[in-house]
Chain A
Amino acid sequence: MQSYKIAAPAASKRGKGLNRRPRLWSGAADTRLHPALRAVNGLLLILLSLTMILPIWNSLIISLSGSLASMQPGLRFLPADFSLEGYQRVWSRMALWRPFMNNVIVTFAGTLLHVLLCSMAGYTLMIRFFPFKRLLVGFLFVTMTVPSEAILIPLYIVNKELGLLNTLSALVLSGIVSGFSILLMASFFRSVPYEMQESARIDGAGDLRILFRIYMPLAASGIATVTLFEFVSRWNQFTPALLYISDSSKYTLQIALRSLIILSDSTSGSDVTTPNVRMAGVMIAILPLLAIYPFVQRYFVQGLTAGAMKE
């Protein structure tokens, strides 16, 4: 099977385009903005970026403040009375580690299965002619027009009847395949030369083998795109967890945080949730996303472009 490994994955060339300036005025010097206007433009962009950064920065400094200091009013841009107390309290005393671990399990299992199943289905749709292909496409098309939120009631009933309420399996299963990912996979697979599949078949390779040995490696950057999209949406998965999980030992991060952030005003007892504790929870939830983001931004852009340009 070695001979199938061909260098230069075709799909990886996409998406890089955005890192260049859109070639609107194709380099000619007289078409650039007047320097003064360009400075204003840059300044406005910095301001815009600041409105994105400041709210997150504000949460970060509150999470790093001491409990008492975090309750004091006043405009601050650095932590007051620096301490990690918020993180310690939310992680161990309020046991955020448990929803965090649940989230890790659901995210990894869900993403892995999603990518596997969608790439299989995408491979099927990539094949040009076979009986009933149009039926399959139609079947998928309908699933993309029905908003899943609109069937939330019967979905709840189905999960209840299958005994899936209060299990992490319900969350892994929810959205385990999606029309969007399947079509995205199919379009990435289409960028691999079609003849490869035909000649491999003549050599006696089965479909699974062709998929895993030829298509997945060659469309690796496409796979990465779908994986990342799915990873992020799994990590943030909210509605299914809100519906199916009521047992607090099965809480995922988003549900646990919701009660921590939004409903905590009413919680009584000795553990008053001070702002630093809440914001520490927020920071813990976004840390994994922030950690991978700089390295994978390219794939996000690629996915967006592929998704949006498909009209």
Chain B
Amino acid sequence: MPRFRQHTGLYLMFIPVIVYFLIFLYFPLLRAFTISLQEFRMIGDRPFVGLDQYKAVLADPFFWQALKNTLMIGAGQLAFGFVASLLAALSLGEVLNPLFRKINQMILYLPHLFSWVIVGGIWIVLLSPDGGMINELLKLAGLGQPVHFLAEERYARWIMIGTSVWKEMGYTCIIYLAAMTLINPSLYEAARIDGAGRLKQLLYVTLPQLVPTMKTVFVLQLLGVLRMFDQLVVMRNPAIYREVDVLMTYVYENGIQQFQMDLASAASFLIIAATLLLTFIFSRVSKYDLS
């Protein structure tokens, strides 16, 4: 007990954290689970209906469409984001002039500072059919009629992928760059003595040494994919809903806008389950520890 009292100050300093997470995380989590088993009304009784809401979600073609869109857009963002940021990091690593490297680094990271409302706003104007810069450039290249990019289903997902790579590549690039500075120089020396050229040093030293970082980045971004929301809320429009509605917009639409909180809670529990499952699998596979 005296040992316990000695640490009173420590516990007191942690209390706000506990209170906050109990009210705004653990309790809502429990609440979401109960709601997902009920027929929910804001006022009045809420009969329990078992797994009916889950069945309703799984029978909803819009849910499956949202899942498909999430996976397709997410896969694109992961793949292209990975290649772009890695290439940028390797390229920055070759720059000798520190000022030039620093300026490029700063510029690459810049879009990550902006919210999706800003990035969406910037790109909606760029892609606009009347006078947007992209269309003006296409016209200059003699490619005919202006395209209404954001209203065409076949471009929709690509635009979500492209703008996301544009926004986030600098962030990932800096992570790779930081990991590259930590590679032991003697590895390169040893490779050189064994007669490895530059390409071989890249293939057999740099890239293998970056694999742990790649795994970390991959897990974090994979979890990010399941919760993508802001970008789509900002950039979608009725013409392309079918192609770019994702899981979180599905939850938001059904829960907040159409007030079917029971259905939406069931859907979000499926998302949580998927997140936990993926975290588990990949922490096993990559030995990556979130803490």
Contacts and interface: CB of A to CB of B under 8 A. Distances in A.
Interface in B201-258: 201, 206, 212-213, 216-217, 223, 226-227, 229-230, 233-234, 248, 251-252, 255-256
Given A149-B251, A300-B109, 7 more contacts: A24-B206, A26-B189, A150-B32, A158-B23, A304-B175, A308-B175, A309-B182
B47 interface: no
Interface string A135-165: 0110111111111111111111110000000
Contacts of A243: 256
Contacts of B252: 152
A32 B96 contact: yes
Interface string B265-285: 100110110011001000000
Contact of A174 (B24, B27, B125, B178): B24
B13 interface: yes
A33 B94 contact: yes
A56 to B, nearest CB: 7
B118 interface: yes
A195 B175 CA distance: 32
11 contacts: A20-B98, A21-B101, A146-B29, A148-B25, A150-B269, A155-B24, A177-B16, A208-B9, A211-B13, A305-B175, A311-B212
Interface of B: 3-4, 7, 9-14, 16-18, 20-21, 23-29, 31-32, 35, 88, 91-96, 98, 100-111, 113-118, 120-126, 130-131, 133, 136-137, 140, 166, 170-171, 174-175, 177-183, 185, 188-189, 192, 198, 201, 206, 212-213, 216-217, 223, 226-227, 229-230, 233-234, 248, 251-252, 255-256, 261, 264-265, 268-269, 271-272, 275-276, 279, 288-291
B117 A308 contact: no
B95 A55 contact: no
A75 B140 contact: yes
Given A55-B123, A238-B116, A254-B117, A150 B275 contact: yes
Nearest to B272: A150
Contact of B227 (A41, A150, A154): A150
Nearest to A51: B166
A121 B96 contact: no
A254 B251 CA distance: 21
B173 to A, nearest CB: 10
Q: Which 3 A-B pairs have the closest CB atoms?
A: A207-B9, A73-B131, A236-B115
Given A18-B177, A153-B264, A158 B131 contact: no
